[in-house]
Structure 1
């Protein structure tokens, strides 16, 4: 069995290398032609070729590009726009293939549809979504998993895991939990292939956030779903709007609502949507929200939720010393080489430097990068589970920056944080 897995991973490595070389060679003539138009023409060719490369490499790489597309503070805007087309515009499955997959899924059970439009309304890296009507008259959205995708994604993560283990053999990086982080992301992403788990997560989010009258979450319908086919309530009227379609007041309201939803997930409910890119989170012209696709949902352990809430609360108050203590408390093994005095000093300076910054001034991506780099240099690594709360915030940060960069990202969290810290998880003893 181990030999078979190695062959699959090795074959995938050869395939990835071949695809990258093919796109690189194919780009040469286009770059030569575009050179006459200056750097703008070359950038356009680069962005389009990278989008095509990612698409050819498959779901694992598309998921990464979808996340990167929200990071206009980290990547060129033109490249973010190119990757943004992958949110729900990945090339769809052929109609005949979809029909074969769906009919095979219901081969041993009653066919629940009276109408089925085989033209996709959304096409993602793992599945395509279609509009249909049930026998009882309800209009539904039907999510159909791409066949054979599981083995390819498993091989991709095996390659990433091999790279992480190689990092672990570098003396200076030996204590970095790279392999653990890759394994946790792998498990979270591969869970997106399990539509039964997604149905449970979607209905859990719907229940947790049911009191928010500005938010719509579709109900999953497991009773009429099948293996590889998830049927859920259809939400009409969804479309992407540009920030300039909203008044400044409505844009601010929408951003505050997005932040409130995410903070509720992170600090109170512990059921966190980590993939709120523009293909999964919609804002309408009244500032109301719709949240879709619960494939990448993570349940935070109470201890991690408590520690992250404490860290975020103290960061919002500019209390760097407490933030340093919390990271130290979250570390299972500090090791003899950990430079705690330096870590405490530099994280205090980092937190105090970002205190009271608004969304347009405070960039979570560079902040997280500096935090992780500081941990690496000091030989101290926080719980790997922290990556999921950070990921949920990183994904939405790019989008809400476009709508209203003046909202105080940290201050908006305080009411939810205070409630969490007062009512949720018991306090752990501080580290002296």
Structure 2
């Protein structure tokens, strides 16, 4: 019974913030008057539109800050006056009260000897999910201590209950009834909420370190298991890092970094089935040798092996311009076909889309546009693949804008082929009765 009043209060707060900022953004006379009262850039003070977006998302809380972080990576699609302020949300979210952070950390280690010789309570980074603090263990190791924001779980639970209700309402719109909003929310929403599972993040750090070790130019900090707690991840502190910004690197290093990011992402997607959906500049750094450093593993999803193989096969055939095979792969992954599913129409539409995208360079190939057209084909023909397909696409969408900002000549599709072929990943999908039925229907 306590959850309903809390949810109602959260809904009222979100609605109030959205309404207030809608007026600030409005082009009406009232909106212009309110902006003048608050100060505008044309009068020598106040906030730009991008800064207003950042303020609004910050006030809405961690779930919405995460949306702003993802949007900020699309510098190829949005102007810098929008992406710049949003990018600052990656590690400069408003900090919680330090007394609450201190109380949470002290409770986590209550009943034992305090494990730190030094601890800096002022955070060195402050994200939407956690604050990060520099510390030194009693045996002299420098560590980064990631502390989950106190009270964040209840807020995010309520946010995703509200989003679930919105998805349900959209699913009742006649033209949208075939869209799997509920399944998408269950998959993506639960994955975002898993960022609150710090033991899972510590395990993901270890897994990423193992999987990417042979690359040589990618570093992932090692967790310190004996100091990790349900709301705290302690990991090695890596010093001397530079922000992941192209203007700080020469042209050769930019190209090297762009290709290293793509190779690492492709290794995770196509070989390991571990999808990092949050590789924004707040989680990626460059060390003194030009190598990559991934500092966060909160938004990491493990793909079922059949989905991993299907997505790898899709990408390989897309890089070769084989639209027919891409369509067949996606059709085979559909959990359920019904009388309204237009298999032939989807096959023809996707084949054409893949041929159009074949061989495009980064500056020409637009993954966001490709994904948008793919989703429209799915909606219009009633073909909806496994919801887990959303995660590899999300991972690639997050890094695409960043890669284009570093090197607009990189070929997204060609860079994937060596990873796919070197790992010798043949199509080994079992021919289940459902898949045989799909082939026969097609």
Q: TM-score band, normalised by the shorter chain? A: over 0.9
Q: Secondary structure at the match of 1:137?
A: coil
Contact 1:121 1:129 in 2 (8 A): yes
Count of residues paired in the alignment: 427
Aligned partners of 1:6, 1:167: CA distance in 2, in Å? Answer: 22
Q: Distance in 2 between matches of 1:258 and 1:36?
A: 37
Partner in structure 1 of residue 11 of structure 2: 13
CA separation in 2, counterparts of 1:270 and 1:303?
A: 10
Gaps of 5+ in 2: 26-30
The aligned counterpart of 2:28 is none
1:99 aligned partner:
102
Report the counterpart of residue 169 of structure 1 in structure 2: 172
TM-score by length of 1: 0.94
Match of 1:343 among 343, 346, 350: 346
Taking structure 2 as the reference length, the TM-score comes to: 0.92
Whether 2:414 is the aligned partner of 1:416: answer no
**Which of residues 390, 397, 400 is equivalent to 2:400?**
397
Equivalent of residue 47 in structure 1, options 47, 50, 53: 50
- CA separation of 1:116 and 1:36: change in aligned 2, threshold 3 A: closer
Give the aligned partner of residue 208 of structure 1. 211
The residue aligned with 2:223 is 220
Aligned to 1:325: 328
Q: Are the equivalent residues in 2 in contact too, given 1:309–1:421 (CA < 8 A)?
A: no
CA distance in structure 2 between the aligned counterparts of 1:368 and 1:133, rounded to whole angstroms: 45
Moved more, 323-332 or 103-112: 103-112
CA positional deviation for 1:340 = 1.8
- Tell me if structure 2 keeps the 8 A contact 1:168–1:175: yes
Q: In structure 2, do the counterparts of structure 1 residues 70 and 307 end up closer, same or farther at CA, with 3 Å as the change threshold?
A: same
Select the residue among 254, 257, 260 that pairs with 2:257: 254
Is the Cα contact below 8 Å between 1:98 and 1:144 reproduced in 2?
A: yes
Provide the rounded CA distance (Å) in 2 between the counterparts of 1:82 and 1:368. 26
SS, match of residue 237 in structure 1? coil
Residue from 361, 366, 375 that aligns with 1:363: 366
Q: 1:149 to 1:303 in 2, by over 3 A?
A: same
Q: What is the RMSD computed on CA atoms of the aligned residues?
A: 2.1
Written as runs of structure 1 = structure 2, the 5 A alignment for 1:25-64 is 28=31, 29=33, 31-32=35-36, 37=42, 45-64=48-67
8 Å contact kept, 2:319–2:417: yes
Separation in structure 2 between the aligned mates of residue 6 and residue 321 of structure 1, nearest angstrom: 50
